């Protein structure tokens, strides 16, 4: 009986990602657009709302079963539930397995291909990694560390990413006071550039000190974050960039 892709829980997603990275190794990394395993662990781990180390552990679990250069956990028996998943999914080909891993974080190549820019299409496989790092992985990183941050811990958090309000999270004080707006950006490296949409820029200007730009850096190695309060008036220098987009449609008379 073929696997039921629609009923996959979080732990199974983590195990399958480890299985994929073990089976396809560097070819799998390239197919997902990652340059090294740390980047894949970080991006997919945070993207799934879990720990990057979990994916590494599952990859190591499966390594003795594949002819790669890593020994993995070769001195102990495979866990039964891992072997069950191995038997169920071990025969998936690269294309099918890659699409499955991408689907875990809501990435649909068919749906997104129509809205990707020319520059993104030229990047090929790197699009998935880039979108994951700059979006969901960075957002889940923020959700993971927010309760531990002194300046942000005494707030209740509302995810507003789907509301189109110009920021990703609304932080309401637990006692009294005005809310804070947090826009999250992610970078592969320790340095790079971030862009604000016109709406994000306008909201940041209007909210001033109540707008926070939260930038997660270095997904390629060990992620860390920097917080920019009132980013429009901070040390950051934003410049306006304009791009003309040609919208093409197909019409028929009925």
Choice between 245 and 92, residue whose per-residue pLDDT is larger: 92
Choice between 80 and 76, residue whose per-residue pLDDT is larger: 80
Confidence of residue 114 (pLDDT cuts 50, 70, 90): very low
What's the pLDDT score for residue 4? Answer: 54
What's the pLDDT score for residue 242? Answer: 85
For residues 85, 88, 91, 97, the Cα torsion angle rounded to the nearest 10 degrees is: -60
Q: Which residues fall within 8 angstroms of residue 33, CB to CB, at 6 or more apart? A: 123, 124, 125, 126, 127, 128, 129, 130
Choice between 243 and 98, residue whose per-residue pLDDT is larger: 98
Averaged pLDDT for residues 220-227: 96
Strand order in the sheet with 180-186: 155-159, 169-173, 180-186, 211-217, 224-229
| Strand ranges inside the chain, DSSP E | 155-159, 169-173, 180-186, 211-217, 224-229
Which of 85-94, 99-108, 195-204, 228-237 shows the lowest mean pLDDT across its residues?
99-108
Q: Which residues fall within 8 angstroms of residue 18, CB to CB, at 6 or more apart? A: 55, 56, 57, 58, 59, 60, 61, 62
What's the pLDDT score for residue 125? Answer: 62
Which of 36-40, 209-213, 232-236 shows the lowest mean pLDDT across its residues?
232-236
What's the pLDDT score for residue 78? Answer: 81
DSSP state of 208: G
What are the chain's domains? 10-124 (no CATH), 149-233 (3.40.1350)
Q: Reply yes or no on whether the pLDDT at 121 is more than 90.
A: no
Averaged pLDDT for residues 101-117: 68
pTM: 0.86
Report residue 193 as tokens: 């550039």
Q: Reply yes or no on whether the pLDDT at 18 is more than 50.
A: yes
Average pLDDT, the chain: 89
The span from the CA of 57 to the CA of 79, in Å, is: 12
Place of tokens 């932080």: 171
The span from the CA of 157 to the CA of 174, in Å, is: 10
What's the pLDDT score for residue 106? Answer: 86
The span from the CA of 141 to the CA of 156, in Å, is: 16
The number of angstroms, rounded, from the C-alpha of 129 to the middle of its chain's C-alpha atoms is 7
Give per-residue pLDDT as tens, 25-60: 999 999 999 999 999 999 999 999 999 999 999 999
Which of 6-10, 86-90, 114-118, 241-245 shows the lowest mean pLDDT across its residues?
114-118
Sign of CA dihedral 114, 117, 120, 121: positive
Helix (H, G, I), strand (E, B) or coil at 182: strand
Q: What is the DSSP string of 114-155?
A: TT--HHHHHHTTHHHHHHHIIIIIHHHHHHHHGGG-TTTTTE
What's the pLDDT score for residue 70? Answer: 83
């Amino acid at each position: 009986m073929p696997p039921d892709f629609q009923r996959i829980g979080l732990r199974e997603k983590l195990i399958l990602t480890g299985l994929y990275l073990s089976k396809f190794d560097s070819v799998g990394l390239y197919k997902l657009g990652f340059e090294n395993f740390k980047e894949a662990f970080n991006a997919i781990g945070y993207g799934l709302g879990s720990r990057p180390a979990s994916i590494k552990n599952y990859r190591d679990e499966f390594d003795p079963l594949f002819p790669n250069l890593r020994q993995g956990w070769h001195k102990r028996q495979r866990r039964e539930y891992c072997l069950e998943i191995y038997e169920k999914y071990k025969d998936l080909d690269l294309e099918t397995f890659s699409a499955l891993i991408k689907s875990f974080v809501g990435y649909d190549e068919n749906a997104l291909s129509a809205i990707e820019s020319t520059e993104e299409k030229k990047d090929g496989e790197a699009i998935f990694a880039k979108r994951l790092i700059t979006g969901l992985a960075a957002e889940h990183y923020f959700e993971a560390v927010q309760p531990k941050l002194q300046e942000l811990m005494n707030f209740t958090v509302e995810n507003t990413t789907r509301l189109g309000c110009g920021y990703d999270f609304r932080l309401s004080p637990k006692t009294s006071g005005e809310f804070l707006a947090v826009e999250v950006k992610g970078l592969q490296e320790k340095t790079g550039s971030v862009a604000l949409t016109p709406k994000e820029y306008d909201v940041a200007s209007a909210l001033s000190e109540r707008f926070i730009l939260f930038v997660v850096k270095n997904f390629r190695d060990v992620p860390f974050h920097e917080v920019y309060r009132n980013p429009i008036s901070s040390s950051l220098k934003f410049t306006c960039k304009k791009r003309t987009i040609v919208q093409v449609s197909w019409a028929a008379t009925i």
